[in-house]
Each structure stands twice: as C-alpha cells, then as structure tokens.
C-alpha cells in the first residue's frame, strides 16, 4: 500500500465480523488505509489461522481481534454495542446468522443512521443462503481445468477488492447526504467478472492471450520456463533482436530460448527492455 494513503481513512471505525479469506483481506486493506479495525471472531478462532498461519498474521498486523460468542445474548449484545459506535460494519456470514445476532440492517440503521454496512455473501438473493466456497464459484465461472486445483482463490480475492471499493464508495456517498448505506457483494459475481477474459475468448487456448500468439506464451528454457509477453510491435522487435532471430514464430522462439536458462533470459530481457520473466513456483514462508 502506498505510504501516502496510509492515513486516508484515519478516524474511521470498522467492525468486521468475518473469517476465512474475503472479509479478513478486505479488513486488512481498510486497516492499511488508516481505519481502526476491530475483527470479531468466534471463540474457536478463524480457520485461516490454522490453514495459513503466516498469511493470517500478516493480514491482521493492524487489526484488533475480539473473540465473541455472538450466538449468546451477552456476546451478541457486546457486538451490537460496537457496531452502533462504528462507521463501517463488514460481515461475511449467512443472513440467518446475522439475524440471530441482531445485525439486521433495517434495525441497525435506526440507531446509527450513518452506518455503512457491506455484506459479503456467496450469492445474492434469492440464493443468499446457498452453500458455497471459492472452489464452487470458480467451477461455476468456468475457471477450472479438472483434475487440477486452482492455484489461487480468484473469487475470494476479487470479492475482497470489490468489497473495499464498495466501502469507499459508500463512505463517499455518506459525505454528501450524511446517510449510511447497505451493500451486498457476492463472491460468485466477482468470480464471474474475473472469468470474462476467458468467457469472451481472450484467454481461451485459441485466444490472443491464451497461447495463440507466439509472442505471448510460455516456453521451456534450457532450464526452467519463461513467460514471453511481447505484445506490442516495439517489444516484438526487441525480442527478435535479443533472440537473434528474424521470424517470430513459436518454433524459432522456442529453439532460441532453449539455449539459456530461464534466469539468464530474464536478466538479458531486463537489459533489452523486453517483457519476459522466469516462471516461478513461489511460496512465501
């Protein structure tokens, strides 16, 4: 996050009732922008802490954690007290669970007319309570190639970014009329939108960015693989010069790239201002 934006939301109070990925990531973004974020977790904690403890720790560096049993009246009452003093309520729970905790927008807005409530849901009405996770949303969006599992959580991450945008837009609108807003962000919709390049053929196997263009595809190097993205004519010309070939077809490019390792090609590409990178299998520890 740019340092110049680190205090953009200073003074704003956010209550996030969410676990797993989309909500915590959105809350982390808001905290990075300067908001004071309190994240309410169940007594058993957030499953993300067990599944990816280092990522969990990174996402919660600026966030206050409050463990509450909101299924009990004392826990629900404490949560409502926090919400009524907040600027933003961020949730990622089924509607029935929110109702049981007394977090119904129509009720909350009477007590806090400036409250911005953004609810992360799997799907919007009438399927708001249908069970699902990122994997099923990617499946419905056509983003999977069985039996391979997805390498990242497209729906969850896209939803988190869209959630932050919704919060900022609602806060901006509140500046004009002094009124809060209720917004729903559906993970399945975010996944569908991120699948648009595939749906419209751009990243399909026969598409311009799906491997059909020899100057925009993956190639094996002498050791490892490289990603070549010389789309524009000036980049293609530099690629031709760097590889010392006249014809930029897949056979010629592949043969040239086999002469060096992926790391060597990346260093050489930087010197020639060519968009080429080593393909890494990176896992942050």
Please write the tens of the pLDDT for every residue from 39-65: 999 999 999 999 999 999 999 999 999
**Number of alpha carbons in the 13 Å side-chain half-sphere of residue 146:** 5
pLDDT tens per residue, range 196-208: 999 999 999 999 9
Q: Are 183 and 170 in contact (CB under 8 A)?
A: yes
Q: Which pLDDT score is estimated for 258?
A: 98
In the chain, what's the furthest Cα-to-Cα distance? Answer: 75
Three-state SS letters, 137-154: HHHHHCCCCCCCCCCCCH
Res 4: pLDDT: 78
Burial (CB count within 10 angstroms: exposed 0-12, middle 13-18, buried 19+), residue 39: buried
pLDDT over 90 (residue 3): no
Q: What is the pLDDT of residue 283?
A: 64
**What would the pLDDT profile of 101-122 be if each residue is shown by its tens digit?**
888 999 999 999 999 999 999 9
Question: What does the pLDDT read at residue 197?
Answer: 96
The full DSSP string for 58-90 is HHTTTEEEEE--TTSHHHHHHHHHHHHT-SEEE
Give the CATH number of domain 208-278; options: 3.40.630.30, 3.30.420.40, 3.30.70.360, 3.30.1540.10: 3.30.1540.10
Q: pLDDT value at position 5?
A: 84
Q: Give me the pLDDT at residue 130, please.
A: 84
pLDDT in tens, 7-30: 999 999 999 999 999 999 999 999
Q: How far apart are CA 101 and CA 104, in angstroms?
A: 8
Where along the chain do its domains lie?
A: 3-197, 208-278
What tens digit of pLDDT does each residue of 163-187 get? Answer: 999 999 999 999 999 999 999 999 9
Distance (Å, rounded) from C-alpha 192 to C-alpha 35? Answer: 30
Class of domain 3-197: alpha beta
pLDDT digits (tens, 9 = 90+) for 234-280: 999 999 999 999 999 999 999 999 999 999 999 999 999 999 999 99
**137 has pLDDT over 80:** yes
Q: What's the mean pLDDT when you consider all of the chain?
A: 94
Predicted local distance difference test score (pLDDT) of residue 285: 45
Cα 93 to the center of its chain, rounded Å? 18
Whole-structure pTM value: 0.91
Task: With a cut of 90, say whether residue 226 has pLDDT above it.
Answer: yes
Q: Is 244 in contact with 281 (CB distance < 8 Å)?
A: no
Reported as a pLDDT band with limits 50, 70 and 90, residue 1 is: low
The tally of CA atoms less than 13 A away on the side-chain side of residue 184 is 16
């Amino acid at each position: 996050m740019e340092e110049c934006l680190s205090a953009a939301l200073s003074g704003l109070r956010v209550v996030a009732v969410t676990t797993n990925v989309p909500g915590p990531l959105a809350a982390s973004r808001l905290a990075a922008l300067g908001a004071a974020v309190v994240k309410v977790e169940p007594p058993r904690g957030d499953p993300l802490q067990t599944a990816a403890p280092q990522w969990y720790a990174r996402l919660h560096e600026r966030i206050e954690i409050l463990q509450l049993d909101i299924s009990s009246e004392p826990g629900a009452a404490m949560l409502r007290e926090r919400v009524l003093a907040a600027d933003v309520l961020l949730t990622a729970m089924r509607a029935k669970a929110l109702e049981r905790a007394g977090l119904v927008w129509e009720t909350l807005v009477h007590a806090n007319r400036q409250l911005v409530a953004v609810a992360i849901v799997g799907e919007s009405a009438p399927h708001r309570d249908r069970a699902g996770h990122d994997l099923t949303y990617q499946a419905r969006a056509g983003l999977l190639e069985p039996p391979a599992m997805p390498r990242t959580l497209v729906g969850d991450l896209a939803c988190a970014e869209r959630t932050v945008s919704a919060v900022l837009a609602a806060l901006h609108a509140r500046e004009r009329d002094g009124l809060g807003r209720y917004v729903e962000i559906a993970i399945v919709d975010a996944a569908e939108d991120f699948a648009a390049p595939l749906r419209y053929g751009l990243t399909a196997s026969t598409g311009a960015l799906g491997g059909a263009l020899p100057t925009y595809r993956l190639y094996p190097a002498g050791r490892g693989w490289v990603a070549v993205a010389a789309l524009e004519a000036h980049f293609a010309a530099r690629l031709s010069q760097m590889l010392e070939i006249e014809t930029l077809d897949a056979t010629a490019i592949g043969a040239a790239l086999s002469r060096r390792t992926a790391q060597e090609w990346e260093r050489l590409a930087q010197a020639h201002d060519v968009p080429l990178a080593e393909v890494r299998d990176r896992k942050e520890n």
